[in-house]
Amino acid sequence: MEKKMTTPFLFILLHLLQFFAVRPDDSSCLPQKSLTCHNDFSHNITCIWKGSFDSDQRNNACLIYAERVDRWQKSYKFKYKHSYNASCELQSFDSARPALKKCSLTFNGTFLFFAWNEVLMNLSCSSSKQNETLFYKPVCHIKVNPPGKPNVNQTTVTWFTQVKMHMRITDFLSELQWKQKDKSWNDPTVVKKKCKWDCEAQLRPNLLMKDETYEARVRVQAFYHDQSGDWSEWSPTESWVSQVGSSKPASGKMFTNINEVDRFS
Ligand SMILES: *[C@@H]1O[C@H](CO)[C@@H](O)[C@H](O)[C@H]1NC(C)=O
Ligand SMILES: *[C@@H]1O[C@H](CO)[C@@H](O)[C@H](O)[C@H]1NC(C)=O
Ligand SMILES: *[C@@H]1O[C@H](CO)[C@@H](O)[C@H](O)[C@H]1NC(C)=O
Ligand SMILES: *[C@@H]1O[C@H](CO)[C@@H](O)[C@H](O)[C@H]1NC(C)=O
Ligand SMILES: *[C@@H]1O[C@H](CO)[C@@H](O)[C@H](O)[C@H]1NC(C)=O
Ligand SMILES: *[C@@H]1O[C@H](CO)[C@@H](O)[C@H](O)[C@H]1NC(C)=O
């Protein structure tokens, strides 16, 4: 009697264990190889493919087809309502390296991706027999759009981490860089801030010179489900004339050593 009761119970338990065992596995992210794709964690996946020498022939069209196929859901015959698919044709973008090709898969809608989503991609070329198949987890390769242009008021810099608020991602790391307009971006002053949508940072007045022209730009990194995304591209650059700080040295005779000023402040 007792035995008869335990068998179905064990059976159910095993099934449950199997069900939960799939998810941690699912959250692991694998490195990408010849096809590398990043996405906005909304509806746009941009891929770069390092094809072989015979993939750069003009008449050899290479396409990527992508479709949502969450494997763990499919294996339990859970019919997901929100499927999506897209395709794009890879194009060379660097004349020095024609075998390097790029295109963007744009799905119909916005904020379609979820942390557990998986996309099956297959790449095939018309005249060569090359093809590649890959399971892609959008959550593993997030690179959000750049933030808006920062706004500067005296020593306060404000910006939005995304121009339009992201419906999924709420935590960002921002990097603010600023410098004198006539200097290069090689050695800017850097400020890092953790922010939600709106972000604010202070410039140190002792690093500023009155009537000098400065430039600032920001970029962001998304944090979502234990994953950190890649840095976004830079925002547009803001330029302003400082109304705070010490007076500019007259003519080119005197040079202010920024590091020295900083040390004695
Ligand atoms: C998709 O993303 C790429 C790279 O960020 C961008 O150049 C392209 O304009 C985007 N396309 C759409 C339709 O948003
Ligand atoms: C791709 O999506 C469209 C709807 O947007 C659908 O009609 C079509 O069947 C899908 N293709 C595949 C192969 O699932
Ligand atoms: C895109 O989605 C909208 C609304 O969900 C739908 O009305 C439209 O037909 C879709 N377009 C394509 C090309 O699938
Ligand atoms: C890619 O997937 C689509 C949809 O499943 C299929 O129609 C197509 O034949 C596949 N292409 C290759 C090269 O596997
Ligand atoms: C994909 O490539 C493999 C070998 O790499 C080949 O056997 C297979 O036929 C190819 N499939 C398609 C649809 O071209
Ligand atoms: C700049 O900041 C000051 C003080 O916080 C505020 O009164 C002023 O309205 C701000 N100016 C602009 C253009 O935002």
What pLDDT was estimated at residue 73?
A: 58
Retrieve residue 15's tokens. 């099934």
What pLDDT was estimated at residue 69?
A: 84
Retrieve residue 142's tokens. 């997030």
Q: Which of 43, 44, 91, 107 has most ligand 1 atoms within 8 Å of its beta carbon, as the pocket-test mutant?
A: 44
Cα–Cα dist 80/72, whole Å: 11
Question: If you measure from the C-alpha of residue 164 to the centroid of ligand 3, how many angstroms do you get, rounded to a whole number?
Answer: 21
More confident: 259 or 52: 52
Cα–Cα dist 4/133, whole Å: 46
Q: Atom 13 in ligand 1: which residue has the minimum CA distance?
A: 106
Task: Indicate the burial class of 75 (C-beta count within 10 angstroms; 0-12, 13-18, 19 or more).
Answer: exposed
More confident: 28 or 236: 236
**HSE-CB of 87 using CA atoms within 13 angstroms:** 10
Instruction: Pick the ligand that lies closest to the CA of residue 120.
Output: 4
Model pLDDT for residues 110-157, shown as the tens digit of each residue: 999 999 899 999 999 887 777 889 899 999 999 999 999 999 999 999
Residues lining ligand 5, Cβ inside 6 A? 124, 129, 131
Atom of ligand 1 nearest to the CA of 233: 5
Measured between alpha carbons, how far apart are the two ends of the chain, in Å? 84
The secondary structure of 114-152, three-state, reads CCCCCEEEEEEECCCCCEEEEEECHHHCECCCCCCCCEE
Model pLDDT for residues 28-72, shown as the tens digit of each residue: 888 888 899 999 999 999 999 987 656 556 678 899 999 998 766
Model pLDDT for residues 223-232, shown as the tens digit of each residue: 998 889 999 9
Contact assessment for residue 224 and residue 171, using Cβ atoms and an 8 Å cutoff: yes
What pLDDT was estimated at residue 219?
A: 98
For residue 102, the tally of other CB atoms under 10 A from its CB is 16
Q: Atom 10 in ligand 5: which residue has the minimum CA distance?
A: 131
Question: If you measure from the C-alpha of residue 108 to the centroid of ligand 3, how many angstroms do you get, rounded to a whole number?
Answer: 6
Q: Atom 1 in ligand 3: which residue has the minimum CA distance?
A: 108
Question: If you measure from the C-alpha of residue 121 to the centroid of ligand 5, how many angstroms do you get, rounded to a whole number?
Answer: 14
pTM: 0.80
Angstrom distances, CA of residue 23 to CA of 33, 85, 142 = 24, 23, 20
Q: Is 174 in the pocket of ligand 1 (CB under 6 A)?
A: no
Q: Atom 3 in ligand 2: which residue has the minimum CA distance?
A: 85
Q: Atom 11 in ligand 3: which residue has the minimum CA distance?
A: 108
Compute the average pLDDT of residues 166-171. Answer: 94
Q: Is 108 in the pocket of ligand 3 (CB under 6 A)?
A: yes
Instruction: Pick the ligand that lies closest to the CA of residue 108.
Output: 3
